[in-house]
């Protein structure tokens, strides 16, 4: 049975002009919480740390100064992206040792993401994670963008390194997501939905990472990586009425390469049902898969 080549370097979101833009709607929600505001994704307020005063407690990280917090909050509330980027650059020069740099760099990564500059978004969110290893917003942006075809290196060694890094970011993000707390005035159902949404996005990123790795097998598609990709994509799409159509489409590609014809047909059909703009991409696969299915039937079968 001959199946089409995987289209990892091709357009996978038909209503966007390039691969970075395919993630805009997804990532801006993933990187922001549902609480509203200019910079709502706050795991904890930077000035909310408390000290116990006990002698055996290790020294606490110094709180930001009043001026530092004022500058930070100005960035937090700035909606103009170019102005915000300049403010974050100024902050880094003024407070090079600030404990708030992880957040400031995350804000800069957000701004570049909104400006459709995915490479810059990755650059500054990586810097953010280096400054604050538990900054969930930055982890999610990097994990989602890094394995995308428009960002991934064509050099096999560099590509393998990027995929390993992306996997680490996504895995750590999932660990943090397990520990996130409800925001003030957030309903239980809303919190559960937000947490579930974050988890699905990271499973989708892991699905793409394993799918990219599957293409790197010396003897063709790596079946073990395909199986891992299938598992991650199923975690991203199962159990909800309207999963991300890109994940469903990718799952169809995985099934196609695993020669699971019926499952691939179902996935491609669902992807174009969820988002009709996928039809030009799913229909050729569906046509070929249905021909393969028909050819596999015993003679005389209905």
| Residue 235 CA from chain centroid, whole number | 14
pLDDT category of residue 17 using cuts at 50, 70 and 90? very low
Q: How many domains does the chain have?
A: 1
Under the banding of pLDDT at 50, 70 and 90, the label for residue 11 is very low
Pinpoint the alpha helices (H) of 47-187: 66-77, 81-94, 101-114, 118-131, 136-145, 156-177
Is residue 212 within 8 Å of 161, Cβ to Cβ?
Answer: no
CATH number at residue 166: 1.25.40.10
Q: Which of 262, 248, 156 is nearest to 207 (CA)?
A: 248
The pLDDT of residue 170 is 98
Q: What whole-number percentage of the chain has pLDDT above 70? A: 77
Query: Is residue 113 a part of any domain in this protein?
Result: yes
> What's the burial of 243, exposed, middle or buried (CB within 10 Å: 0-12/13-18/19+)?
buried
- Coil, helix or strand at residue 85: helix
Residues 65-93 as b or e (16 or more Cβ within 10 Å = b): eeebbebbeebbebeebeebbebbeebbe
- Does residue 171 lie in a domain region? yes
The encoded tokens of residue 82 equal: 């170019």
At 79, give phi and psi (nearest 5°).
Answer: -95, -20
Contact 261, 292 (CB under 8 A): yes
pLDDT greater at residue 38 or residue 183: 183
Q: Domain residues for 135?
A: 18-35+67-184
For residue 37, pLDDT beyond 50: no
Q: Is the pLDDT at 138 greater than 50, yes or no?
A: yes
Is residue 149 in a domain? yes
Question: Given pLDDT bands bounded at 50, 70 and 90, which one contains residue 97?
Answer: very high
Considering only residues 44 and 261, tell me which one the structure prediction assigns the higher pLDDT: 261
Separation CA 86–CA 300 (nearest Å): 71
Whether 102 is covered by a domain: the verdict is yes
Among 45-49, 65-69, 85-89, 226-230, which stretch is predicted with the lowest mean pLDDT?
45-49
Q: Quick: pLDDT tens for 155-167.
A: 999 999 999 999 9
CA distance 145 to 26: 11
Q: How far is the CA of 160 from the CAs of 127, 151, 153, in angstroms?
A: 20, 13, 9
Distance CA 171, CA 143 (A): 9
Where does the pLDDT of residue 237 fall: very low under 50, low under 70, confident under 90, or very high at 90 and above? very high
Distance CA 201, CA 207 (A): 10
Q: Does residue 266 fall inside a structural domain? A: no
Give me the mean pLDDT over the 234-253 stretch: 96
Indicate whether 222 belongs to any domain: no
Do the Cβ atoms of 98 and 90 come closer than 8 Å? no
Asked whether residue 194 is assigned to any structural domain, the reply reads no
| CA-wise closest residue to 209 among 180, 182, 173 | 173
- Range of lowest pLDDT (22-31, 91-100, 174-183, 285-294): 22-31
Asked if residue 161 belongs to a domain, the reply is yes
**Structure tokens belonging to residue 180:** 């996130």
* Greatest mean pLDDT among 63-67, 114-118, 200-204: 200-204
Highest-scoring range by mean pLDDT, 57-61, 138-142, 215-219: 138-142
**pLDDT one-digit tens code per residue, 267-302:** 999 999 999 999 999 999 999 999 988 776 665 555
Cβ proximity of 252 and 264 under 8 Å: yes
Task: Label residue 220 exposed, middle or buried (CB < 10 Å: 0-12, 13-18, 19+).
Answer: exposed
Q: Is the pLDDT of residue 51 over 70?
A: no
Report pLDDT for 4: 32
């Amino acid at each position: 049975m001959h199946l089409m080549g995987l289209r990892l370097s091709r357009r996978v979101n038909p209503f966007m002009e390039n691969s970075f833009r395919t993630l805009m709607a997804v990532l801006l929600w993933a990187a922001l919480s549902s609480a509203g505001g200019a910079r709502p994704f706050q795991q904890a307020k930077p000035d909310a740390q408390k000290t116990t005063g006990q002698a055996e407690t290790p020294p606490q990280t110094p709180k930001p100064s009043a001026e530092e917090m004022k500058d930070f909050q100005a960035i937090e509330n700035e909606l103009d992206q170019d102005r915000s980027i300049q403010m974050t650059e100024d902050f880094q020069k003024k407070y090079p040792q600030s404990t708030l740099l992880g957040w400031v760099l995350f804000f800069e990564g957000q701004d570049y993401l909104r400006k459709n500059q995915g490479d810059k978004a990755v650059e500054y969110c990586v810097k953010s994670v280096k400054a604050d290893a538990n900054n969930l917003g930055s982890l999610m942006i990097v994990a989602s963008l890094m394995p995308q075809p428009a960002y991934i290196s064509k050099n096999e060694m560099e590509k393998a390194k990027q995929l390993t890094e992306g996997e680490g970011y996504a895995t750590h993000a999932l660990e943090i997501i397990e520990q996130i707390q409800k925001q003030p005035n957030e309903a239980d159902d809303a919190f559960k939905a937000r947490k579930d949404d974050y988890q699905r996005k990271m499973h989708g990123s892991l699905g793409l990472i394993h799918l990219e790795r599957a293409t790197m097998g010396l003897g063709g598609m790596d079946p073990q990586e395909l199986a891992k990709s299938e598992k991650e994509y199923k975690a991203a799409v199962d159990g909800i009425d309207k999963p991300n159509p890109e994940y469903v489409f990718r799952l169809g590609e995985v099934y196609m390469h695993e020669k699971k014809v019926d499952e691939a047909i179902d996935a491609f059909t669902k992807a174009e049902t969820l988002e009709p703009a996928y039809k030009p991409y799913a229909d050729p696969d569906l046509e070929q898969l249905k021909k393969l299915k028909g050819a596999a039937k015993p003679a005389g079968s209905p």
